Structure 1
Amino acid sequence: MAMIKTVDNWRALLSIVIESKVEELKLMGYTDTTADIVWRCLKQKVWKGNPEKRLYQVVEDILHLNTHIYMSFLTIESYQQQDDLMASIQALTEHEN
C-alpha cells in the first residue's frame, strides 16, 4: 500500500522533480523562477494548503503545473507585493507628518 504524507513532508524527496519544472518554466520565459516560487504556487493554487497525498500524486501535480496557473500566481503575488509596498510607503509618510 502506498504511503500517504502531507505535501510538505514529500518535498525533500522531490528536489529533482521541482528543478525539472523550474527549468521548463525558464525555457518558457519565466527566467526568475525558483524552486521555492514553484512550491508556493503549487501550495496556493493547486493544493490549497498542505494536503495529504501519495508520492506519485505530488509528482504528477508538479509535472502538470501549467503556465496559466503559474502566471496567475505570479500576477497575484505581484499585486500583493505592490500593495505591501504602498502600505509601507503610506505608513512612512504618515509617520513623517
Structure 2
Amino acid sequence: MTVHLPETIPDTTYLYGYALLIATIFVFVMSGYSIIGSKYMPDTNNKVLDWIKYDNYYCLLIPITAIVWIYWVLWNWMGMKFFRHN
C-alpha cells in the first residue's frame, strides 16, 4: 500500500537524508581522529582531547559495535521478510 501526501504538505524526506549524511560524516571523522589521529598529536592540555589520546578501549568500541549492529539489522530485516512472506 502506497501512501501519498497531499500536495499542500511538502516532502521533507531529503532533509532526513542530509541529516543522516552529516551524522555519518561526523561519526567517521571523529572515529578516525580517535583511532588514528589522536595518537600522533602532542599533548593539548585539554582534558577531553588528552583522554581520547590515551584511551585504548572506547576508541575501538564504537567501530566494533557497528559491525555487530550491521549483522543485527540484517538478521532483523530477514526475520521480518520471513514473517511477512510466510
- TM-score, length of structure 1 as denominator length: 0.37
Relative to total residues, which structure has the larger strand share, 1 or 2?
1
Q: Which has the larger radius of gyration?
A: 2
Asked which structure has the greater RCO (Cα within 8 Å, sep 6+), the reply is 1
